[in-house]
């Protein structure tokens, strides 16, 4: 580190953040980012391999935090004694924790989940949905075995995961801010849970 202490790199990331958020990955221009950062293209390519790498510097961190939080959530489930699977999957405390992360980096997550086309993250939402689906799968098995629920096929399992992820994304994009999202969250979870109960035939 020189005296500048990563100043340039930070300026670049900051400029990239605002450009990416404003225009999305594909329509963002590296030239424009460099101009905003008052830095030359050469500098950019010293710190970052390419456009994707720069994008990573903006959204990678938040994504890691999210992954970690989701990971914890899943670990808790795995360890705990599951009495009511849907209660676990749509646990309010964990849901709140996740929403908290999403809003901590609101712009980054909206960017990542809705404007990442063309980047290596363009399928990130599918990855998240895939993870959620594995959980529903777990619960589906337990429910079937222990509670004699209907057998739910992979299609609907994926659907449930999809709707859940979309619902969180919906709260993120349609709330005025963290507070409104938190206020509406229980209502949304109630809706999701009712759907889940119906799908699993637990009514």
Partner DNA sequence: CATGAATGAGGTTTCATTCAT
Partner DNA sequence: GATGAATGAAACCTCATTCAT
Among 21, 24, 47, 131, binds DNA (CB under 7 A): 47
DSSP string, 133-178: HHHHHHHHHHIIIII-PPP--HHHHHHHHHHHHHHHHHHHHHSSSH
Q: Whose Cβ is closer to DNA: residue 51's or residue 73's?
A: 51
By the rule CB under 7 A, 43 interacts with DNA = yes
Using rule CB under 8 A, residue 22 touches a copy of itself: no
Q: Is 73 in the site for DNA (CB under 7 A)?
A: no
Please tell me the distance from the alpha carbon of residue 124 to that of residue 193, in angstroms, as a whole number: 24
Per the CB < 8 A criterion, the answer to whether 54 and 75 are in contact is: no
Query: Shortest Cβ distance from residue 175 to a copy of itself (Å)?
Result: 8
Q: How many residues bind a copy of itself (CB under 8 A)?
A: 32
**Nearer of residues 8 and 199 to DNA, judged by Cβ:** 8
By CB under 8 A, residue 118 contacts a copy of itself: yes
75 CB contacts (<8 Å, ≥6 apart)? none
Nearest to 171 by CA among 94, 125, 109, 115: 109
Residue with tokens 């460099």: 34
Q: Provide the Cα torsion 118, 133, 73, 17; round to 10°.
A: 10
Residue 95 site contact among a copy of itself, DNA, none (CB < 5 to 8 Å, cut-off depends on kind): none
Among the candidate windows 32-40, 77-85, 101-109, 155-163, which touches a copy of itself by CB under 8 A?
155-163
In the complex, the residues that contact a copy of itself under the rule CB under 8 A are 24, 26-27, 117-118, 155-156, 158-160, 162-163, 166-167, 170, 174-175, 180, 184, 187-188, 190-199, 203
């Amino acid at each position: 580190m020189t005296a500048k202490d990563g100043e340039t790199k930070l300026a670049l990331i900051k400029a990239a953040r605002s450009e990416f958020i404003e225009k999305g990955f594909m329509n963002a221009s590296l030239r424009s980012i460099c101009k905003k950062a008052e830095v030359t293209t050469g500098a950019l390519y010293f710190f970052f391999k390419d456009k994707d790498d720069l994008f990573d510097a903006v959204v990678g961190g938040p994504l890691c935090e999210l992954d970690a939080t989701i990971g914890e959530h899943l670990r808790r489930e795995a360890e705990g004694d599951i009495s009511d699977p849907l209660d676990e999957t749509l646990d309010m405390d964990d849901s709140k924790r996740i929403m908290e992360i999403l809003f901590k980096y609101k712009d980054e997550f909206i960017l990542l989940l809705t404007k990442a086309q063309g980047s290596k993250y363009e399928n990130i939402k599918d990855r998240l949905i895939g993870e959620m689906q594995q959980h529903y799968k777990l619960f589906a098995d337990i429910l079937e075995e222990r509670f004699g629920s209907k057998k739910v096929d992979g299609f609907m399992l994926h659907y449930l995961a999809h709707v859940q992820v979309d619902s969180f994304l919906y709260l993120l994009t349609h709330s005025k801010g963290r507070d409104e999202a938190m206020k509406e969250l229980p209502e949304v979870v109630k809706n999701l849970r009712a759907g889940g109960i119906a799908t699993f035939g637990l009514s």
